[in-house]
Amino acid sequence: MNKGYLALVLHAHLPYVRHPEYDSFLEERWFFEAMTGTYIPIIKALSRLSAEKVPFELTISLSPTLLCMMEDEILQTRYQKHLTKLIELSEKEQVRNSHHGHLHWLASTYRDSFIEAKEIFNSYGGRLTQAFLEFHNKGSLRLITTSATHAVLPLLMSEPKAIKAQVNTGITTFENIFGFTPQGFWLPECAYVPGIEEHLRDVGIRYFFLENHGIDHANVLPLYGVYAPLFTPCGVAAFGRDQASTEEVWSAQKGFPGDPEYREFYRDIGHELDIEYIKPYIEDSVRVDTGIKYWKITGPRSEKDFYNPYLARERAAHHATVYMNKRIKQIEYLAETMGKEPIVVATFDAELFGHWWYEGPQWLDFLIRKIAYDQSSISLVSPDTYLDIHPVHQYGTPSMSSWGHRGYFEVWCNGKTDWILTHINECTRRMSILGEKCGFAPPPLIHKALNQCVRELLLAQSSDWPFIITNATSEKYAARRVRDHVSRFHYLADAIETGQVNETELQKLEHLDSAFPEADYKLFMAGS
């Protein structure tokens, strides 16, 4: 007998990184690695489950920037070349390791996986978006999205038009690719302040996700905590993340990914082998990960044993059983306490599965199968299905919250990043003035320039740039991206104001920053 529900929610997002002005660009590898490590392995897992008619319901959020990159022909072509290089490298590795049986076998498995990735990619004509749509149409996958460039919306509250542009552009991008309006919305960085949900209601969103303390500190006592949604005053439902069901998956220290049998992420032949040997397969002689990793985590010691995929697969199956049994006990206890069917919402960055935790897609496959066939106490469900089953819930206003360090936007607004807000707020105000000045029917060239201004502003607002700066990873690149988009915005704004828009220069910017073909400056006009 079903006692309650588990909602597995994967949020797939990458910043918009596309540099057609170069033959190749180092940071574009972020996209290529996620395609090979996460998105294609998830599609493979879903394909197996679907072919074998395993019943399940999974929710995946695809960000508009990621969707734009998946649909971009330049990146599709470059990803093809990237896979071709990986296949060539793995074949060279077979030869290099011909004297070592285990490493030769591992190189062969990598070669086979890269070939399979290329076949899957080509089977959809390079458009992986259509693979996700296929599973959505079958009813096993619920697709949702987020704001245009994953901006931290509470930090834009002083300029409501900026929030409207982020939300509306994101939804329109999703609709143009998939042909339907999503019911759910991933609040970027789970960042919330009261009132944001009104923008979601206006575009037909039914529910969104919050960190647990957003529900726990609501203006009413949440009777069921995060185990039931809270309807906000405007009628949009807020689902809170359950920490207990997520930490053991994402935490490398406390969770499954730290198991000694799993593949070691931090050792890759791109950093291990002679530079002249590896040089043709990396960018500009900069050592980067290739995806070919021969070692397992082993333990805390620096010396690592060789990776065994079969032993790792067994651990993934075991951990799926452990996770399922814990959720059964949790949900059975909650159902008895609450007197109704609870929903446990487990939210994750999709890139954890496969890219960071190599065995993650296997674990997900095992978990879905075990829930379908090895028990009868819980069911996998999407939040919108749960709302269909249980339409009546408590009303209240969640509290200001986010995930990340300390849980209140500090990762994105601090002494290292506050300069970004100064720039984007100035650009937002200028965008509104430009829109009002030009009206609803400007000349075609001015119209195009205004829409390009919107693209530059949206790209400058991305949450990824302050996140990267705060964590000091690719700090110079992130800061440069903000400054580039801001300067391009002001260049176009100056040209619009003086009536001197250069069509050739505008076309160059449209080629450089081509995200969101549906970007509309009218979103910044009064009464729009």
Instruction: Kindly state the percentage of the chain with pLDDT values over 90.
Output: 93
- Three-state SS string across 162-205, please? HHHHHHHHHHHHHHHHHCCCCCEEECHHHCECCCHHHHHHHCCC
**Band of residue 527 on the pLDDT scale cut at 50, 70, 90:** low
Residue 285 has pLDDT above 80, yes or no: no
Burial 213-229 (b: 16+ CB within 10 A, else e): bbbbebeeebebbbbbb
| pLDDT, tens only, 17-27 | 999 999 989 99
**Band of residue 302 on the pLDDT scale cut at 50, 70, 90:** confident
Q: Which two tokens stand for residue 457?
A: 């502003």
3-state SS, residue 9: strand
Report, as an integer, the average pLDDT of 99-123: 98
Query: How many residues does the structure list for the chain?
Result: 528
Judge contact between 137 and 172, C-beta under 8 A. no
Q: Note the pLDDT of residue 255.
A: 87
Q: Name residue, tokens 């002689």.
A: 285
**Band of residue 248 on the pLDDT scale cut at 50, 70, 90:** confident
What CATH number should be reported for the domain whose range is 412-524?
Answer: 1.20.1430.10
| pLDDT, tens only, 204-213 | 999 999 999 9
Q: Note the pLDDT of residue 254.
A: 80
Contacts of 300 by beta carbon, 8 Å cutoff, 6+ apart: none
Q: Name residue, tokens 């969103």.
A: 205
Q: Which two tokens stand for residue 427?
A: 């650009």
Judge contact between 241 and 210, C-beta under 8 A. yes
Judge contact between 362 and 313, C-beta under 8 A. yes
- Extract the runs of DSSP E, i.e. beta strands, from 290-362: 343-349
| pLDDT, tens only, 457-467 | 999 999 999 99
Longest CA span, the chain: 72
Q: Note the pLDDT of residue 84.
A: 97
Q: Which of 293, 297, 296 is nearest to 272 (CA)?
A: 293
Q: Which two tokens stand for residue 155?
A: 């930090």
Q: Note the pLDDT of residue 326.
A: 97
Q: Which DSSP helix (H) or strand (E) runs through 210? A: strand 207-210
- How far, in Å, CA of 367 to CA of 383, rounded? 19
Instruction: Tell me whether strands 230-231 and 207-210 are parallel, antiparallel or unpaired.
Output: unpaired
Q: Which residues pair with residue 7 across a beta bridge?
A: 345
| pLDDT, tens only, 353-399 | 999 999 999 999 999 999 999 999 999 999 999 999 999 999 999 99
Residue 203 has pLDDT above 90, yes or no: yes
**Band of residue 251 on the pLDDT scale cut at 50, 70, 90:** confident
Residue extents of the structural domains in the chain? 4-404, 412-524
Q: Name residue, tokens 């890219």.
A: 355
Residue 471 has pLDDT above 80, yes or no: yes
Q: Which two tokens stand for residue 80?
A: 């093809």
pTM check: above 0.95: yes
Instruction: Kindly state the percentage of the chain with pLDDT values over 70.
Output: 99
The overall average pLDDT reported for the chain is 96
Residue 283 has pLDDT above 80, yes or no: no
- Three-state SS string across 494-511, please? HHHHHCCCCHHHHHHHHH
Distance, first Cα to last Cα, the chain: 50
Residue 14 has pLDDT above 70, yes or no: yes
Q: Note the pLDDT of residue 528.
A: 63
Q: Note the pLDDT of residue 253.
A: 75
Q: Note the pLDDT of residue 399.
A: 97
| pLDDT, tens only, 492-514 | 999 999 999 999 999 999 999 99
Q: Note the pLDDT of residue 65.
A: 98
Fold of 4-404: 7-stranded beta/alpha barrel (3.20.110)
